[in-house]
Amino acid sequence: MKKIITTVAVTALLSSTAVFSVQQSSVVQSDIDAFQGHFKKRFPELSLNDFSKGPYAMSEDKMSQFEALMEMPPFEDHVEKGGKLWKTAFKNGKTYSSCFSGDDETIRTQYPRWDVAKGKVVSLEKALLDCRVKNGEKKIGSGKGKLAWISAYLTTIAEGQTINVIVPEGDEKALAAYNAGKKFFYAKRGQLNLSCANCHVDNPGRRIRGNTLSPALGQVTHFPVWRGKWAKKKGDGFGTIQRRYGGCNKQVRAQPFKRQKDAYSNLEYFHTIMSNGMEISGTEYRE
């Protein structure tokens, strides 16, 4: 069943089960309206949720190929493994769900979120990693493998849920983190002197290195994603969005940042907020 999240679970200072309505920063809402308006004007034939399909939504031929592949996706067994890991008890008897509030299918849309007590943005993957440590388990990789499988399972069961990530009105620290992510998104870097926006705001739909550039709007709706390129190299094609950020930085010949640190977490915060109002499309394939 598709549900619309209209409330935001506030972490740390609040109990694990309490959910309160929090008002979006008016500054941020203006950014969202302008950002989404840009893409709607450029691609007037697409609905808001169409953007979740990226370049496939821009070509009937590519869409038909995508739909054929998704009839028997190559990642189903990994999503099932993620589901089993999510439900398997730690040595202390607790499971991952003990670290989260709300129904399992709503967890994906609660992240990334501003953690008041920690004073920083926390992604879903970071919350999963912290949950393991909290329950006495060993650390695992932060960009692929088991972490990506679990996160992909949560993305899969969240299909149809609506993204509603909040920068609380009046919270200057949260707004500063959001603005840091925004600055990163628009800042040029690397030997190629390109920003995230140069490719995914200015040039979506155009070809580069044999691929079609996707619009930034909707990119977060299907992560972790299964990429054919990753599968060819390692066999396991899953990767988190912060793994993808690192790959993008390498492509413009810039030094990637460490995953689950402020730079990429703030970027993910801004990036996700720009797709507020869109539905999670579930785990998907990309080239």
Residue 212: what are its φ and ψ, rounded to 5°? -95, 130
Catalytic residue, from 14, 63, 175, 248: name it.
Answer: 248
Consult the annotation and say whether 200 binds a ligand: yes
Consult the annotation and say whether 243 binds a ligand: no
What token pair was written down for 90? 């730690």
Query: What Å distances lie between residue 41 and 98, 122, 281, CA to CA?
Result: 44, 32, 22
Per-residue pLDDT of the chain (287 residues; tens, 9 = 90+): 333 333 333 333 333 333 446 899 999 999 999 999 999 999 999 999 999 999 999 999 999 999 999 999 999 999 999 999 999 999 999 999 999 999 999 999 999 999 999 999 999 999 999 999 999 999 998 899 999 999 999 999 999 999 999 999 999 999 999 999 999 999 999 999 999 999 999 999 998 877 889 999 999 999 999 999 899 876 789 999 999 999 999 999 999 999 999 999 999 999 999 999 999 999 999 98
* Whether residue 76 lies in the annotated active site: no
What is the pLDDT, as a whole number, of residue 210?
Answer: 76
Consult the annotation and say whether 131 binds a ligand: yes
Consult the annotation and say whether 248 binds a ligand: yes
As to burial, measured by CB atoms within 10 angstroms (0-12 exposed, 13-18 middle, 19+ buried), residue 152 is buried
Fold of 26-286: Cytochrome Bc1 Complex; Chain D, domain 2 (1.10.760)
What is the pLDDT, as a whole number, of residue 26?
Answer: 96
What is the pLDDT, as a whole number, of residue 21?
Answer: 66
Consult the annotation and say whether 286 binds a ligand: no
Domain borders along the chain are 26-286
Query: What Å distances lie between residue 83 and 154, 170, 189, 235, CA to CA?
Result: 8, 38, 38, 20
